[in-house]
Structure 1
């Protein structure tokens, strides 16, 4: 299939099958905003998990770089601050399809 014929979600799924990435990295690759990547990733995760395959959509949670907090309620999110220490130094989640 030619790249122009693929949907954004197909391109996102293909990128996640190739290697793990953060929403910001994927946003640059797919010419989207990180928030749009997260919205599309939610749909991709449901499609992958529902598919009749051995694939799984995995998310390494965001983590606070200052205190190490990584128990966020919504793993597929772009938190702006740590709920524990209030630091704004929070890493993005890493997404992949295995």
Structure 2
């Protein structure tokens, strides 16, 4: 079995170039916590914003499964409750590098 190369952030960035992923999916895939995945995503976002390349981190924001609310303040976060209907049924944000 081949050992993974690169830092966790580099591997997450490479994974996001393949297609969209949620923080919990990244946490599971890279054996880290969801909080760590969100922290890595924040750093990946800053590094691609600072690069001169055409790449950017795109976010499909979290959305309430009950009422459809998607106006959450911070897309780099997994909210626990909908501010509109107060349900805890929130779809996680999805991230992709394009």
Deviations 1:30-82 (A, max 9, x none): 11111110011000000011111110111110000000000000011010000
Unaligned runs of 5+ in 1: none
* RMSD of aligned Cα (Å): 1.2
Using the size of structure 1 for normalisation, the TM-score is 0.94
Other-structure match for 1:89 = 89
1:69 aligns with 2:41: no
In 2: Cα distance, 1:67 partner to 1:42 partner: 28
3-state DSSP class of the match of 1:45?
A: helix
Using the size of structure 2 for normalisation, the TM-score is 0.94
Deviates more, 1:62-71 or 1:50-59: 50-59
